[in-house]
Structure 1
Amino acid sequence: PLLHKQKTSQPTHALIIGAGLTAAQLTHLLLSPPHNISKITLLARHPLRTKPFDVDLAWMGKFRNINQAYFYGADSDQDRISMIAQARGGGSITPPFTRHLRTWQARHRLDIRECSVVDWECSTFDEKNRTWNVRTTSTTNPTEKATVEDVDWIYHATGAPTCTASIPCLQTLLASHPIATCGGLPCLTEELQWRADVPCWVTGKMAGLRVGPGAGNLGGARVGAERVVVGVQEWLGRGGGGGGGGGGEGEKGEGVDGEEGQGEKRGEKWEEMMERRDSALERDEYTTARGNRFRTLDFAALEGDE
């Protein structure tokens, strides 16, 4: 039935649940060619918020170091979780996509219903027409009800919880090498290492307890990368043992077949990599992305055009 509707240019209706950037991007995508959904209802549990970043500007502007200092000086990880939640404040939309939404709204193809949640128990599915009638409840007045009728598609753009235990690839790591968590985030080392004896480093939102509210942004990625580099260097330098599984002082240096020998090999490999990089720099064979961009220019041709 849905394909027939689209092929015969019959009106189509989609319901998008969410109040963040993903919901806004999906709305703009479905209303634009080649999808051309006739109408979309955007359901948000709170008023839509417009922000240039997903965290407050105080954490991204020129005075961000002040907030970062408070964050790093927090007494506990629980205090840091509270600061992260306050800085992020839920879903938000960037100014360009807010303008897109207002444009579609002015064309009467977008219906934005703020401060509303779905009441699935009272919602029904029409088997004959293959459409949903979705019942909603106001978050500000629970007695206020409404219905979104004849919905062909329902999209959930409500995000995913940042919880270590809910990520499949980390569940086995948690089982074999458990660490403490706070608010769903792992309590990593300062170098973003899983544990001192585990050669696994974590960046992105999962490193929020050590990097701050902007851990998932480009700024947080840069800080995270710098810390990971330090952590990897220290790991290679000490042989990757992390303080575990070693013998007494009298056992050190008695051979290269054990953990000590493996550490020496890792250290030598790292030094070899650094020497190759330094050699490339001296021969002018190593450039940044900016340098490579200018190398592609044909300056002789440009001078000839003048």
Structure 2
Amino acid sequence: MNSTSEIHDVIIVGAGPCGLAVASRIRENTPSAVFTDEEHQRYHWIKKHTGKMNLVQAGRTKKNGVRAEKWNRGQRTCPCKDETSPESSRRGSTDSTSSVPSLASDSSTSSNTSISTLVLDGTGDQWMQRWNNAFRTLEIKQLRSPMFFHVDPGDRDGMLAYTQEVGREEDLWEISGCVGKEMSKHKKKKRRQSGKPQTLGVEIDERDRKDYFSPSTDLFADYCASIIDRYDLNEPGQILKQEVTDITHGYLPDNLDVAAPNSKVFTLTTSTGQKFYSRAVVLAMGAGGAGIQKIFPWKPSNATEGAEACCHSMEIKTFPSPNVRSKIQQRRETNVVVVGGGLSSAQIVDMAVRKGVTKVWFLMRSEYKVKHFDLSLPWMGKYKNWEKAAFWSADTDEERLEMIKSARNGGSITPRYTRIVKQHVAHHRASIHTRTEITSHDYDPETQTWTLTTDPPIPNLPPIDYIYFATGARSDVREMPLLSNINDQYPIEVIEGLPCLTDDLMWREDVPLYITGRLGGLRLGPGAPNLEGARLGAERIAWSLEEILEKDRGIGDQCEGFCGLGNRYASLVGDGEDDS
């Protein structure tokens, strides 16, 4: 069927981590957020061995064993109801001495395929394409996030289990210095007086040590590939390389060759002029998505002004630039400026030195901040539930925004990259300049170099061959062209660019446009731009989709599977005999 003549249940805009989290969550029948890990693993064990093992129900007086009921995947993918009875199944429990296998790569995991989904992405027709390209370009070998930050809806510890199953423990990097005994108040006071970074203080319980490793980028990519395979998300035509330029919501004209329902639908128009229709839309765009405004101290408009001698860190295609590479090959002196205070800026500094740049000048407006994560440790450690509760209980969105700013506190660099950058400084290959801004800039097209003036002045600053702006991006729903019509037709309150969504991450109660990731920050919290936010956002969206799609086309029974609703013990029921 031509994709432009079908009304999909859900269209996901963006094939990055947030989009993958939503797509996989929709197809997960027993999400770990609803089932405990023990219940979750037990259900899959029973499903895997259905019809093969005799399971004895506790509390029965009968001696005969009860075989697990096998449910029909083709007709209904809901483990929470008994197909053989119109009533809800009675609760039962089972016991077995057999070991419960890990679920990280369980190929028997069922998926709900009754929901018609389509993914549109401006980068390519593969999951995580922009994400993987960015890590490959910057030669980043390690994620900043800990092991429990991932997009797998089935198991909170899924990445750790996957790593152990495939025998790739060597691909784990310990995040040292954040796990162990709590630092005493006396030591904290001495650290403050000495001027040492406070973020290096230990705030995470020793019992959580196994969680505080970060995966290599290759391991994370392979784990995501296993999730894609598990939920059959790599079917041909599932993802289309289409950049969405406009979204509208309303009734379709009668002259269209589309079987329009008796309710409003979304029309998504792409840069090629194609139109796609859906009952619900999920915006899951990352920092590099369409409509996200990159931040520049200044931006040259043409080659004469230096447009080819600088770029944003999100726009790097090759590294180093052709001009710098040519000079390095000729063994000539090269100088590069990196502007920014986050982890990306430190990674660019390191890569420039490794590629042969003579010296890198590292400029940042604020102080040099050292943090394990881009969130403060209280949001990561054993008291994070208290922090999240305080956030969700805040009286106003303005108060939540201040909590987000406090928790993230601008760009920061990990202890590991801090050591790397300082080694380059010690070898006179890099120079760090905090609280420094570029006050004037002049580009010479003949020499292809910049002459910069800074405040405070940097002594003997030579002509600069290239400038990298690792200065982040600004997200404002009011400035996104694809939301222009939505903003006009269905206005909502916006605070500093962040939309005041419903608790389900929906634009309005009457507009099933869901927004996850960074733009969902006022509902998801400071972790919204991270992998944790992707998984949490997907959970909320999946629950809301059940209601939306049930109202629209009456698939409530099927939604019970992907939303994880109903009696969570019903999947353990045997042959339906009365056990009263």
Superposition TM-score, scaled by structure 1 size: 0.73
Counterparts in 2 of 1:1-306, with a 5 A limit? 2=324, 4-32=326-354, 35-120=355-440, 123-138=441-456, 148-239=461-552, 263-264=553-554, 266-267=555-556, 270=559
Residue 45 of structure 1, CA deviation: 0.7
Counterpart Cα distance in 2 of 1:236 and 1:107: 61
Count of residues in correspondence between the two structures: 245
Counterpart Cα distance in 2 of 1:223 and 1:272: 18
SS state at 2:361 partner: strand
Identity %: 37
Counterpart Cα distance in 2 of 1:175 and 1:155: 36
The alpha-carbon distance between structure 1 residues 84 and 13, as it changes in their structure 2 partners (threshold 3 A), is same
Contact (CA 8 Å) 2:506, 2:515: kept in 1 or not? yes
Counterpart Cα distance in 2 of 1:145 and 1:13: 14
SS state at 1:83 partner: helix
Contact (CA 8 Å) 1:15, 1:151: kept in 2 or not? yes
AA of the residue aligned to 2:455: T
Alignment match, 1:253: none
AA of the residue aligned to 1:70: A
Contact (CA 8 Å) 1:133, 1:147: kept in 2 or not? no
Counterpart Cα distance in 2 of 1:65 and 1:78: 21
AA of the residue aligned to 1:20: G
The alpha-carbon distance between structure 1 residues 82 and 3, as it changes in their structure 2 partners (threshold 3 A), is closer
Counterpart Cα distance in 2 of 1:209 and 1:224: 12
Counterpart Cα distance in 2 of 1:48 and 1:137: 17
The alpha-carbon distance between structure 1 residues 272 and 216, as it changes in their structure 2 partners (threshold 3 A), is closer
AA of the residue aligned to 2:397: D
Residue 146 of structure 1, CA deviation: 5.3
The alpha-carbon distance between structure 1 residues 171 and 54, as it changes in their structure 2 partners (threshold 3 A), is farther
Counterpart Cα distance in 1 of 2:459 and 2:502: 49
SS state at 1:213 partner: coil
SS state at 2:543 partner: helix
Contact (CA 8 Å) 1:15, 1:155: kept in 2 or not? yes
Q: Which runs of 5+ in 1 are unaligned?
A: 139-143, 240-262, 275-280, 283-306
The alpha-carbon distance between structure 1 residues 200 and 107, as it changes in their structure 2 partners (threshold 3 A), is same
The alpha-carbon distance between structure 1 residues 115 and 172, as it changes in their structure 2 partners (threshold 3 A), is same
AA of the residue aligned to 2:489: S
SS state at 2:463 partner: strand
Contact (CA 8 Å) 2:362, 2:430: kept in 1 or not? yes
Counterpart Cα distance in 1 of 2:562 and 2:405: 41
| 1:138-181 alpha-carbon deviations (Å, 9 max, x no partner) | 3xxxxx66563210001111101122223333334323332211
Alignment match, 1:304: none
Counterpart Cα distance in 1 of 2:561 and 2:443: 65
Counterpart Cα distance in 2 of 1:86 and 1:79: 11
SS state at 2:453 partner: strand
AA of the residue aligned to 2:410: G
SS state at 2:473 partner: coil
Contact (CA 8 Å) 2:324, 2:466: kept in 1 or not? no
SS state at 2:338 partner: strand
Q: Which runs of 5+ in 2 are unaligned?
A: 1-322, 564-570, 573-580
Superposition TM-score, scaled by structure 2 size: 0.40
Counterpart Cα distance in 2 of 1:118 and 1:147: 15
Counterpart Cα distance in 2 of 1:89 and 1:222: 23
Counterpart Cα distance in 1 of 2:448 and 2:516: 43
Contact (CA 8 Å) 1:136, 1:147: kept in 2 or not? no
Residue 196 of structure 1, CA deviation: 1.6
More helix by share: 1
SS state at 1:16 partner: strand
SS state at 1:170 partner: helix
AA of the residue aligned to 1:28: D
The alpha-carbon distance between structure 1 residues 170 and 24, as it changes in their structure 2 partners (threshold 3 A), is farther
Residue 3 of structure 1, CA deviation: 5.5
The alpha-carbon distance between structure 1 residues 190 and 147, as it changes in their structure 2 partners (threshold 3 A), is farther
The alpha-carbon distance between structure 1 residues 145 and 110, as it changes in their structure 2 partners (threshold 3 A), is closer
